[in-house]
Structure 1
Amino acid sequence: MYEKLKEIIQASKTIVFFGGAGVSTESNIPDFRSADGIYEKKTYPYPAEYMLSSDFFYANTEAFYDFYFHEMLYPNALPNPAHTALVRLEKQGKLQSVITQNIDGLHQLAGSKEVVELHGSVHRNYCLKCHTFYSLEDILKQQPKVPRCPKCGGIIKPDVVLYGEGLKEETIHKAIYDIAHADTLIVGGTSLAVYPAAGLLQYFRGKHLVLINRDATAMDLRAELVIHDPIGKVLDCVVEK
């Protein structure tokens, strides 16, 4: 299977990578839906999905940030072999973009230049009142309190897509364009259970669809190649150094 993926990469001119939480698990950032994922934690009074909703953010901001600071932020995490392999593929001129559902910024930290962040980023934060930008470091300095704008006192909100919020239109358009113009789409580290992000795969009209994920997905039967191995191991092996 690894040799087959190498052949596909070598024959491809326009590759797009579509990734999810499984890309970052090898950087010790937990995913959401596995047995030891964030959604299985029993230490909070509400389901994790509800605590990550816009309704909960506005109604229970203090409790939201208690969860967010403890479960969603990993400022010391470093890129893993999956991230660095994608950087190599981009430098070779084959990878056109990374489309990620992750909010951790590890693709950019590794050196990827073309990254479409479907669900936003923990590294961007905005005052709801005056719209001043704040970095991740800025809001971490205020924990465990609710981060507030030093200028106007307004509440600072992470620029991440919470449940109940829509994806940014320009982000969706960019992702659709990239997927529609790729001859190879490599999907990795995602259960393809989160919509509308997972629905973007319907726009792929290229030649090679490759799925790399620890567990089976609903798209496995549509793919030319399916590999159920750790994504860092796979990409590090098949992308030339």
Structure 2
Amino acid sequence: MDSKMIHTCSHLLKEAQNIVVLTGAGISTESGIKDFRSRTGLYQLAPEYILSLDYFYKHPRKFYEFAIENLYHPKALPNIGHEIIAKWEKEGKVKNVITQNIDGLHQKAGSQQVIEFHGTMKTLSCTNCGKQYSTDELVELMNETEEFYVCTACETKQKRTRYIKPNVVLFGDTGDWFTDEGFQTITQILHHADVVFVLGTSLQVTPFSIFPRFRREGVPLIIINKGKTPYDFQRDSYVIQESIGETLNKLDQELHKGPM
């Protein structure tokens, strides 16, 4: 690991008072959760189409069989990366976490200010009446009834209009943050950051990939990701292609090192 880069980044973090963290699947792989696009990721098991809104409506049972097995991880535990981010929030350094992840591990680690940009796999809602279900409830229903994905709390002539959908953003879908108001909130958060910290995302998927552009000119962009990102060679970018947990641990040690 590049000790000079660690020293540089720790100095930037030490000076910062408003760190905004952007996270992707790479921070959760160290908790045993598969990412999507790597050589061992989910898209090697199945095409992206399976996680589309269109596929959900055409093949709800097959969709849920795949989603429950691959996207729902109730027993997964936060790793040291999640824990250090939560610790820095308690210390007043990290102000917001904006995550692509739907696993809830940031909250399990203790982070409070979390924007789940792509939603959460913990809950599901009827597309007609909005009744909310827990994913555990749905798993039980899968074993009890054939049309477990149809809401029984409301009545419409067409069952398809009252499907129970996970509260995640699928391909061809939009979410709570995909609104003018949602984008404005996020861009303002990024505009006020004095460090933007990217963890475990290649920043390839829009619109999440454009978020670093909303930082003010000269604000450092620290990237810890094993793969390349479009921002790696920009001015004010600091890149470490190492383990997130190990790197954050070293940065945390530097931050809390006493005077010599």
**Please, what TM-score do these two structures have when normalized by structure 1?**
0.92
Q: Secondary structure at the match of 2:89?
A: helix
Q: Establish whether residue 175 from structure 1 lines up as the match of residue 186 from structure 2.
A: yes
Q: Using the alignment, how far apart are the partners of 1:210 and 1:69 within structure 2?
A: 33
Q: Using the alignment, how far apart are the partners of 1:40 and 1:79 within structure 2?
A: 25
The 5 Å alignment of 1:1-241 reads 1-41=5-45, 47=47, 49-143=48-142, 146-152=148-154, 154-167=162-175, 168-169=178-179, 170-205=181-216, 207-222=219-234, 223-239=236-252
Structure 1 gaps of 5+ residues are none
Q: Is the 8 A contact 1:192 1:217 kept in 2?
A: yes
Q: Using the alignment, how far apart are the partners of 1:216 and 1:83 within structure 2?
A: 22
Q: Percent identity?
A: 39
Deviates more, 1:94-103 or 1:160-169: 160-169
Letter in 2 for 1:201: P
Q: Secondary structure at the match of 1:164?
A: coil
Structure 2 gaps of 5+ residues are 156-161
Aligned-pair CA distance for 1:116:
0.8
Deviates more, 1:163-172 or 1:216-225: 163-172
Q: Is the 8 A contact 1:118 1:171 kept in 2?
A: no
Deviates more, 1:210-219 or 1:95-104: 210-219
The alignment of Structure 1 onto Structure 2 pairs a total of residues equal to 236
Q: Using the alignment, how far apart are the partners of 2:112 and 2:55 within structure 1?
A: 34
Q: Is the 8 A contact 1:123 1:136 kept in 2?
A: yes
Q: Secondary structure at the match of 1:78?
A: coil
Q: Using the alignment, how far apart are the partners of 1:109 and 1:148 within structure 2?
A: 30
Q: Using the alignment, how far apart are the partners of 2:223 and 2:11 within structure 1?
A: 15
Q: Is the 8 A contact 1:116 1:174 kept in 2?
A: no
Q: CA RMSD in A?
A: 1.7
Q: Is the 8 A contact 2:22 2:198 kept in 1?
A: yes
Q: Is the 8 A contact 2:231 2:237 kept in 1?
A: no
Q: Secondary structure at the match of 1:141?
A: helix
Q: Is the 8 A contact 1:100 1:115 kept in 2?
A: yes
Q: Using the alignment, how far apart are the partners of 2:11 and 2:118 within structure 1?
A: 32
- The runs of at least 4 aligned residues of structure 1 exceeding 4 Å deviation read none
**Please, what TM-score do these two structures have when normalized by structure 2?**
0.85
Deviates more, 1:159-168 or 1:177-186: 159-168
Q: Is the 8 A contact 1:188 1:231 kept in 2?
A: yes
Q: Secondary structure at the match of 1:143?
A: helix
Deviations 1:168-216 (A, max 9, x none): 3143232211111101000110011111111122111152111100112
Rg (Cα) greater in structure: 2
Q: Using the alignment, how far apart are the partners of 1:155 and 1:217 within structure 2?
A: 37
Deviates more, 1:79-88 or 1:125-134: 125-134
Letter in 1 for 2:7: E
Q: Using the alignment, how far apart are the partners of 1:176 and 1:109 within structure 2?
A: 26
Q: Is the 8 A contact 2:60 2:149 kept in 1?
A: no
